[in-house]
Amino acid sequence: MAAGPPPPLDPPVLPAFGDEGFADKFLRKTRENPLVPFGCLCTVGVLTYGLISFKKGNTRRSQLMMRARILAQGFTFAALLGGMVVTALKSK
């Protein structure tokens, strides 16, 4: 087998975002994976409703909301994982 030239030693060029502030980064990340913020909002909403039910003494609804919170957190985690996989496959 003939030996070819050695591979280049230069690091890959990464995208430069410059002076990107928190709001700009948040909007960019939300556009890249919109299901994660949606899942976070659902989790917070269900948690808040469950805490209000607990405070009012409605233990049955409070327990139901805590179980729904676990499902919302699972959805958020799955969306985060899915976004990471899509980003990894897109970069190849």
pLDDT of residue 54: 95
Taking 90 as the threshold, does the pLDDT of residue 69 lie above it?
yes
Q: State pLDDT tens for residues 35-44.
A: 999 999 999 9
Mean per-residue pLDDT over the chain, rounded: 88
Residue ranges of domains in the chain:
34-91
Question: pLDDT class for 10, splitting at 50, 70, 90?
Answer: confident
pTM above 0.75, yes or no: no
- Could you list the beta-strand ranges (E) of 1-92: none
Mean pLDDT of 74-78: 96
Taking 70 as the threshold, does the pLDDT of residue 30 lie above it?
yes
Neighbours of 62 (CB within 10 A): 18
pLDDT of residue 67: 97
Q: How far is CA 69 from CA 9, 36, 79, 84, in A?
A: 49, 15, 15, 23
